[in-house]
Chains A and B, each alone.
Chain A
Amino acid sequence: MTTVSSAEHTRRDFLYIATGAVGAVGAAAALVPLIAQMNPDASTIAAGAPIDVDLAPIADGQIIKVFWRSKPIFIFHRTKKEIEEAEKVNVADLPDPEPDSARVKPGHDQWLVVIGICTHLGCIPLAHQGEYDGWFCPCHGSQYDTSGRIRKGPAPKNLYIPPYKFVSDTKIQIG
């Protein structure tokens, strides 16, 4: 390429820069669909729509497992004893402090709904096991109480609460 005297900007310079700019915009625009196509597609998103779960068949003290957005959800019908155990704990002593009232819906404290994935490295904890009457994770020994809160072991956080609401006293909608 012949050199141009640096004082003047020629039409050629302008054309080079303009072409380069349009080319760069075009390249960026071309990347958008190539990257966007890897995001969840419409059928996957549709399959992740909210689900209704009927609570009537769940007995006192029973824990059931449902799937929502490919994640296991524990639904725990707590007995009076289990609710008391959860409420009596000194919140400040907990590794991840959170009162039981923040983890249940008002007026429905016998129902605990949590995502059944250990907050350590992702295994599914086992129900009605461990020293705290909640869950025990066999992978690395984390133990959760009747409110799904971490009490002992390497997990850093309490079991997460999914978005859900009561559509009636015996039915919840998760999602």
Chain B
Amino acid sequence: MSGHSTYQPQNKVLQWLEKRLPIGGLIYSSFVVYPTPRNLNYLWTFGGILAFMLGVQIVTGIVLAMHYTPHVDLAFKSVESIMRDVNFGWLLRYLHANGASMFFLAVYVHMFRGIYYGSYKEPREVLWILGVIIYLLMMATGFMGYVLVWGQMSFWAATVITNLFSAIPGVGDTIVTWLWGGFAVGNPTLNRFYSLHYLLPFVIAGVVVLHIWALHVAGQNNPTGIEPKSDKDTVAFTPYATIKDGFFMAAFCILYAWFVFYVPNFLGHADNYIPANPAVTPAEIVPEWYYLPFYAILRSIPDKLMGVIALFSSILVLAFIPWLDTSRVRSARYRPLFKQFFWLWVIACIGLGWLGSKQPEGIYVIMSRIFTVYYFAFFLIIMPLLGIFEKTKPLPNSISESVFGAKA
């Protein structure tokens, strides 16, 4: 976004507006002529997919809010009334619930792309950290949204997660009472979660604006990890990236639609169709799939406080990756050892997710501990050391050389 805009509108009205609020020029320079590396693969579409899913969640959420009642005696019924009575209510509810899952699926692919290609490295450290902040906000929003249904899982997930804060020595119980607004999870808790669940997506939208701004300052990373050196290395965002992203977003929406229309309750838990009962805890309390890896990490540590610290650390450690990874080479394409450790780490994440759905006993606990150790070792030991000891493959001279061969 540097230099004078080349936007010259032909239409007189647009010229008038451009002089007073140059939004046309902003869109033109950011999304039309914006120089985009010509070698981006489909993994780079997930940023756009995420922005789209945020829009979907906000729109479906606002219309659902027209019919939902945030009171302990009425909440569950109001959700069922949405499903049965409201015109297209079933569709809006399934879009919103499965939309959350698709949102998290996309964010994990997006984050894995960032780690694999070194997109967090200089000068994109702030971009990466803004992303971690967005992720944390997403987790809070998703958690509170699930509580609003006021089923058995909603209620007991709220109890478990708010109780985590009681591990804090000294002030823990005071904090938990403050969160609850009472002596246990109850109506005050539900009401404030509703307010915050409506608020946070707009906070996310604000941070997304900063995230895209930070991206446009540095420019996109690309699969080679080397910066564009000339105009030959880039193409205009429109039509190339626009159409490519449009195609992949449509494919993503097909997957989304498959869940919504054919298996809308597959990713959910049957117990959440039982109204919340504060007197009866379900046989197993499990969060939604996107929280399972962290749930496994929490339960693998035998000490209460250390488990909570491990849980929060497993997310916060992400913010430090730009400094933990000492390698001068960005992309894992040219880092053979890092590539292997990375895939082992992906397996560990998926393994932790699977283990999070199991009861914490026997072999599952042992495996959770092994994977948790590897999860942290990847960031705290492997990343710093590999930068010093790894023999990287030779980098291409330019992006266009990697695409066209040495002739370019």
Contacts and interface: CB of A to CB of B under 8 A. Distances in A.
A37 B86 contact: yes
A37 B67 CA distance: 9
A43 B63 CA distance: 17
Given A33-B92, A34-B59, A34-B63, A41 B87 contact: yes
A36 B81 contact: no
A34 B342 CA distance: 43
B84 A36 contact: no
B322 interface: no
A36 B92 CA distance: 11
B239 A37 contact: no
B244 to A, nearest CB: 13
Contacts of B63: 34, 37-38
B175 to A, nearest CB: 39
Given A1-B239, A41-B81, A43-B81, A36 B66 contact: no
Contacts of B67: 37, 41
A37 to B, nearest CB: 5
A39 B85 contact: no
Given A1-B239, A33-B91, A33-B92, A41 B86 contact: yes
Given A33-B87, A33-B91, A43-B81, A38 B66 contact: yes
Interface centre among B59, B86, B246 (most CB of A within 10 A): B86
Contact of A37 (B66, B81, B84, B238): B66
Contacts of A41: 67, 81, 85-87, 89
| Residues of A contacting B: mostly | helix
Interface in B56-82: 59, 63, 66-67, 81
B27 to A, nearest CB: 15
Contacts of A44: 85
B262 interface: no
Contacts of B81: 41, 43
A43 B85 contact: yes
A20 B87 CA distance: 29
A5 to B, nearest CB: 18
A37 B92 contact: yes
A42 interface: yes
Interface string A24-67: 00000000111011110111100000000000000000000000
A42 B66 CA distance: 15
A41 B238 CA distance: 43
Contacts of B183: none
A42 B67 CA distance: 13
Contacts of A34: 59, 63, 92
B88 interface: yes
B3 to A, nearest CB: 21
Nearest to A46: B85
A36 B87 contact: yes
Contacts of B87: 33, 36-37, 39, 41-42
24 contacts: A1-B238, A1-B239, A33-B88, A33-B91, A33-B92, A34-B63, A34-B92, A36-B87, A36-B88, A37-B63, A37-B67, A37-B86, A37-B87, A37-B88, A37-B89, A39-B87, A41-B67, A41-B85, A41-B87, A42-B85, A42-B86, A42-B87, A43-B81, A44-B85
Interface of A: 1, 19, 32-34, 36-39, 41-44
Given A1-B239, A36-B87, A36-B88, 11 more contacts: A1-B238, A33-B87, A33-B88, A33-B92, A34-B59, A37-B86, A37-B89, A38-B66, A42-B84, A42-B85, A42-B87
Closest 7 A/B residue pairs (Cβ): A33-B88, A42-B85, A41-B85, A43-B85, A41-B86, A36-B87, A37-B87
